[in-house]
Amino acid sequence: MLLINLNGRLVPEEKALISVFDHGLLYGDGVFEGIRAYNGRVFKLDQHIRRLYRSAKTILLVIPLTQKEMSQAVVETLKANHLKDAYIRVVVTRGKGDLGLDPRKCPKPTYFIIASRIQLYPKEFYEKGMEIITVPTRRNGVEMLNPAVKSLNYLNNIMAKIEGNNAGAAEALMLNEEGLVLECTGENIFAVSGKKLVTPPLYLGVLEGVTRDVVMELSSQAGLVPFEELLTRHDLFNADEVFLTGTAAEIVPVTKIDGRVIGTGRPGPYTRKLMSLFRKLTEREGTPID
């Protein structure tokens, strides 16, 4: 039986209920984080919780727990579900209000923590690589709905995902209004050219992914030098290697984009090295669950 932490109470999944007047449900007014646990340790828990609170601050949402208390709640939820390897979703909504938009009508935020499992992509993608396509839906601009805020309003990403699905692709590449590469619907993107490891800069409105940061830190061990630079589709088509990063996806090689084969058409040596380094890191680092 899966137990959900709902406002500090561990309740069975079927009893984890929120009001139909909750503004997270009505308007996507809230923030979330996806976190992973490996081998009895929560990976990069502090970084994820800090990002959750930064997102909340930007939308003027006061989370009714300290960061330390939220971290403890994540660990307790995992322990209650006897999970050593898991995907954790932490969600904070504006809370129950009325049918209007005004967040001042929501006196008390709602929060819940789900600890379960996830398999975002099949094993084959990690061994042979995946194909992605560019979709018409453009990424929200920084001053529209800043992608740096992990809000519950994910319709921009979902529309792009639908377009990718309709074209038979597992993932979709999103550009900005100027045609520059930003990210995929749920992952950051990297390109390897020579010994350069390039990813789009944050100021364009790219999510500062926790796995993205880890990969940039590991890059020197793989023999690469990391850069934040503007990328076009032309740059990706002609890269030696391309891969995606995300908490749920981890590191997944990309071997074809918009019909163009990337590099040799197989996961490249640098990508494979980073995947190995990442796996080893998750085995030894993290906040203990017990």
CATH topology of 3-116 equal to that of 123-284? no
Is the confidence at residue 164, as pLDDT, over 90? yes
Sorted by sequence, the CB contacts under 8 Å of residue 16 that are 6+ apart come out as: 4, 6, 112
Chain position carrying tokens 């990210």: 183
Residue 143: per-residue pLDDT: 85
Residue 290: per-residue pLDDT: 85
Residue 145: per-residue pLDDT: 85
Q: Per-domain residue ranges for the chain? A: 3-116, 123-284
What average pLDDT does this structure show over 128-155? 93
Is the confidence at residue 120, as pLDDT, over 90? no
Confidence label for 83 from pLDDT (cuts 50, 70 and 90): very high
Q: Which of 44, 57, 128, 150 is catalytic?
A: 150
Residue 201: per-residue pLDDT: 97
Residue 186: per-residue pLDDT: 94
Q: How far is residue 171's CA from residue 164's CA, in Å, rounded to a whole number?
A: 6
What average pLDDT does this structure show over 82-108? 97
Condensed to tens digits (0 to 9), the pLDDT of residues 210-247 reads 999 999 999 999 999 999 999 999 999 999 999 999 99
Confidence label for 119 from pLDDT (cuts 50, 70 and 90): confident
123 is catalytic: no
CATH homologous superfamily of domain 123-284? D-amino Acid Aminotransferase, subunit A, domain 2 (3.20.10.10)
What average pLDDT does this structure show over 175-197? 97
- The strand pair at 196-199 and 225-228 is best described as parallel
Condensed to tens digits (0 to 9), the pLDDT of residues 246-269 reads 999 999 999 999 999 999 999 999
Q: What is the DSSP string of 86-153?
A: EEEEEEEE--B--SSS-GGG--S-EEEEEEE----S-HHHHHH-EEEEE-SSPPPPTTTS-TTS-BS-
Domain 3-116 has CATH 3.40.1010.10: no
What mean pLDDT is reported for the chain?
Answer: 96
Residue 182: per-residue pLDDT: 97
Confidence label for 147 from pLDDT (cuts 50, 70 and 90): confident
Sorted by sequence, the CB contacts under 8 Å of residue 88 that are 6+ apart come out as: 33, 34, 35, 36, 37, 42, 74, 77, 78, 113, 114, 115
